[in-house]
Amino acid sequence: MAVPKKRKSHSRTRLQRSHDALVPKAWVTCPQCREPMTLHHICQACGFYRSREVVAQEG
């Protein structure tokens, strides 16, 4: 099993952790109903995904 030879400094530890920050979700508008939706997901308002109805909405 590999074991590190030397202790990692605080600076290097923080540099490595700089990529762990949370990023907000990307929102786009649905081309069918103009409601906000997340990328690569079915629209909750109309049930369309990439100009195709995936989920039939009631009402």
Residue listed under structure tokens 């605080």: 10
Cβ atoms of residues 48 and 54 within 8 Å: yes
pTM exceeds 0.75 for this model: no
- Residue closest to 31 by CA, chosen among 54, 16, 19, 48: 48
What is the per-residue pLDDT for 59?
62
3-state helix, strand, coil in the chain (%, to 5): 20, 15, 65
For the residues 25-47, what does the mean pLDDT come to? 93
Residue listed under structure tokens 């649905």: 30
